[in-house]
A and B are shown apart, each in its own frame.
Chain A
Amino acid sequence: MLQYLALAAILFAIGIFGVLTRRNAIGILMSLELMFNAVNINLVTFNKFIGPDNLVGQIFAIFVIVIAAAEAVVGLAIVLLLYRNWQGIDIGNINIMKW
């Protein structure tokens, strides 16, 4: 079981690295998908090894996948809107919300 948890932790750490270092907004969204996958691996692992009586962990993993799809749709719509208005999606330049 520990090997699956270690794999998920490594994948999550790589996702954090991507979120912190990317300039491109689409790159940040891709790193977020990596982090969602790490969480899903954790859920399925705990379902198999800790509570195998029913499949609650897998159901929560399905909900995470659905929410991740919705997030990707809305996030990419915002990215296209930014590209149209700023002629670029470098998130260092987009500071209109900064006070």
Chain B
Amino acid sequence: MFGVEVSQLFFYLLSFIIIVSAIYVVSLRNIFHCALFLVLCLFSVAGIYILLEAEFLAAVQVLIYVGAVSILMIFAIMLTSRLANKKIMQSNDNVTVAIFVCAGFLLTSLGSFGYTVWKVVDSPLPENNTLTIGKLLMTDYVLPFEVVSIVLLAAMIGAIVLARREKI
């Protein structure tokens, strides 16, 4: 789509935005600001999908994550608004342990990337992204597609049953 240098530049820009906003998501005191930085982070992940030539997935990411899930998060923060003020401690006392766990995970995974021999195939992706995904969803993956719709129905009913006030 672009030249190699331009896409490299976009990649580094997007990963910088993703990492910085993700660090803000896990470390800011004000939980509402965390939700706003989560929106920025998810939007940049959609940019990464476009760089990886997954345009349909980028659109789905913007519609579902940026449009729906983060709005849901902001609703929940508003409904539990007494906790959103800054005086409440937002992190517990095992920060040092968590830093060690994350550093261990990161070192292990980055080291194993270097030692693994990847069988990289150099052929291009299918031409029409959305068409191919739609055909696969309606032929090979029709059973998971139907099961996932039942999962969504169950989640909807479960959320209604959990959140209503009077007993059933």
Residue numbers of A with Cβ under 8 A of B are 1-7, 9-18, 20-24, 26-27, 29-31, 33-34, 37, 40-41, 44-45, 47-56, 58-59, 61-63, 65-74, 76-81, 83, 88-90, 92
B97 touches A20 (CB 8 A): yes
CA distance A10 to B127 in the complex (A): 31
CA distance A65 to B67 in the complex (A): 13
A30 touches B25 (CB 8 A): yes
What total count of A-B pairs have CB within 8 Å? Answer: 224
CA distance A18 to B98 in the complex (A): 8
- Apart from A51-B121, A73-B155, what are 6 other A-B pairs with CB-CB below 8 Å? A55-B125, A58-B54, A62-B57, A65-B65, A67-B151, A73-B72
Q: Confirm or deny: B6 has a beta carbon within 8 angstroms of a beta carbon on chain A.
A: no
A80 touches B80 (CB 8 A): yes
- Complex contacts, B13 vs chain A, CB 8 Å: none
- Complex contacts, A80 vs chain B, CB 8 Å: 76, 79-80, 162-163
CA distance A94 to B160 in the complex (A): 22
A69 touches B109 (CB 8 A): no
- Complex contacts, B151 vs chain A, CB 8 Å: 66-67, 70
**A23-B91 in contact given A31-B25, A65-B61, A67-B151 (Cβ < 8 Å):** yes
In the complex, 26 of the A-B residue pairs with CB atoms within 8 angstroms, ordered by the A residue number, are: A9-B105, A9-B106, A11-B19, A12-B109, A14-B25, A16-B102, A17-B98, A21-B91, A22-B91, A22-B92, A27-B31, A30-B73, A37-B41, A41-B45, A44-B57, A51-B121, A52-B126, A55-B132, A58-B133, A61-B57, A66-B148, A67-B151, A70-B151, A76-B75, A83-B80, A89-B83
- Complex contacts, B144 vs chain A, CB 8 Å: 63
CA distance A80 to B83 in the complex (A): 12
State the main secondary structure of chain A at its contact with B: helix
CA distance A89 to B73 in the complex (A): 14
**A59-B38 in contact given A20-B98, A21-B92, A41-B45 (Cβ < 8 Å):** no
A72 touches B69 (CB 8 A): yes
- Complex contacts, A47 vs chain B, CB 8 Å: 54, 125
Chain A: minimal CB distance from B115 (Å): 12
